[in-house]
Amino acid sequence: MSEEIYTGLDVGSYAVRVAVGKLVPTAESKDQMHIIGAVEVQSSGINKGTITNLEDAVSSVSRALEQAERITGIPLSNAWVGINGSHIISQESRGVIGVGRSDGEIREEDVERAIEAARTVATPTNYEIIHVIPKSFTVDGQRGVKDPVGMNGIRLEVDAIIIQGLGSQIKNLTKSVYRTGLDIEDLVFSILATTEAVITERQKELGVCVVNIGASTTSLVVYEEGDVLHTSVLPIGSDHITSDIAIGLRTSIEVAEQVKLRHASCAPKDIAKKEVIDLAELGAPTEEIVGRRFVAEITEARVQEIFEHVNKELKKISRSGMLPAGAVLTGGGSKLAGLIDVAKTTLRLPVSLGTPIGITSVIDRVNDPSMSTAIGLLQWGHNIKGSDSSNGFSKIFSKISNVDKLSSGLKNLFRSLKP
């Protein structure tokens, strides 16, 4: 039997990223994910996490998959696909069932029934459920139960978070992937997959906020006591920094992007007033000298705004400045110089840069924060399929994997669209 290959596909506004991995045994007799391919291709037809031009999006995904297959020498047939965008919303729900057995023992089918009961929440028009995430169970009034299987009781309740997305956007994304000839193992809310790559179970227990700064959106998730407490997608990202630089310097978006990538910083105080940038070296038609400190002031202002929005989300759940494990920043936008110091000041929390952990690879690219979602999708897939694992994640999610799967009807519909 050939070894199983896991593929993660992150379809972003700036780039389509593909990570390919396989499990390798370690000295501790536990399998570890080994990344054998990591590819990034500039995307088109995608804006703010949503498909705006189907043909361009299909072309971008195809290019990324072709490169990944060429690097790994393995034909890719299926993938775990991340979904993102400001159309994604979350709401809390509760499912309550009675345990009808004479011995009163709670079994796995009772847990599944409780989760199904939580699914019956009223969803907004045209929205579809992406995930039902159980937070904790209550058995006969006893709260805070993590896994009720085997316990005795007559009333089982589950508190869950329902992640929902706009049906049309879900269909557009699945269609753009299926048309490349790739099967979808499952759609996963991107920020949830990202956390699987960049934080530990200990951080989830203590209380942590993971912030993924993308090109046109910033998504975040808050964990406490191992449970998802809150998720949000903010319609602001590092593209807004580029736009601000273009307006401030009165130059083109292309030149502004190069200024951001090569010279931008969030710490204007650390830059000497004499430091200058010649825009002609970055693609401007004529020589134009601008102060690097001025660019840093523009960048700092927008980055502060992003973290103020993040802090507002923390205030909604009364966790502003109150997460012991702090904030972990990841995504392509998190690589700006001085970003962590701005985050520490604005959020009043310990802040670190999140790069993939718990993996092995000889590829330098896997240490890039922008690859964390694609690699997190691999970890998510392994956790779902490796249901013999001892961690709580796979125990619960293996029970509800059938809940999260795309409906077979939807799969068959888009499979027929393959070339």
- For 360-408, the pLDDT digits (tens) are 888 888 999 999 999 999 999 998 887 544 444 444 554 444 444 444 4
Question: pLDDT tens for residues 135-168?
Answer: 889 999 898 888 899 999 999 999 999 999 999 9
H helices, E strands: number in the chain = 13, 19
pLDDT the model gives residue 407: 45
In whole angstroms, what is the distance from residue 351 CA to residue 224 CA? Answer: 16
Q: What is the mean pLDDT of residues 275-299?
A: 93
In whole angstroms, what is the distance from residue 245 CA to residue 261 CA? Answer: 11
pLDDT the model gives residue 415: 52
What proportion of the chain, given as a percentage, has pLDDT over 90?
A: 75
Report whether 266 contacts 339 (CB < 8 A). yes
H helix or E strand, kind and range, residue 351:
strand 351-353
- Residue 100 — pLDDT band, cuts 50, 70, 90? confident
Q: What is the mean pLDDT of residues 173-186?
A: 94
- Residue 182 — pLDDT band, cuts 50, 70, 90? very high
In whole angstroms, what is the distance from residue 307 CA to residue 43 CA? Answer: 26
Return the domain boundaries, the chain. Answer: 89-165, 200-353
In whole angstroms, what is the distance from residue 88 CA to residue 168 CA? Answer: 12
Q: What is the mean pLDDT of residues 51-63?
A: 94
CA angle 108, 111, 113 (to 5 degrees): 110
Q: How far is CA 180 from CA 78, 79, 291, 369, 408, in A?
A: 11, 12, 46, 26, 19
pLDDT the model gives residue 175: 95
H helix or E strand, kind and range, residue 225:
none
pLDDT the model gives residue 413: 52
Q: How far is CA 48 from CA 11, 131, 310, 328, 402, in A?
A: 11, 20, 17, 22, 29
Res 296 pLDDT > 90: yes
| CA 66 to centroid of chain Cα atoms | 23
Specify the pTM.
0.89
Taking each helix axis from N to C end, the angle separating 372-385 and 190-198, rounded to the nearest 10 degrees, works out to: 90
Res 198 pLDDT > 60: yes
In the CATH scheme, what is the homologous superfamily, with its name and number, of domain 200-353? ATPase, nucleotide binding domain (3.30.420.40)
Res 186 pLDDT > 80: yes
pLDDT the model gives residue 25: 82
Considering only the top CATH level, what class is 89-165? alpha beta
Res 250 pLDDT > 70: yes
Question: pLDDT tens for residues 321-343?
Answer: 999 999 999 999 999 999 999 99
φ and ψ at residue 356, rounded to 5 degrees = -55, 135
φ and ψ at residue 331, rounded to 5 degrees = 95, 165
pLDDT the model gives residue 29: 57
Q: What is the mean pLDDT of residues 12-24?
A: 93
In whole angstroms, what is the distance from residue 360 CA to residue 19 CA? Answer: 13
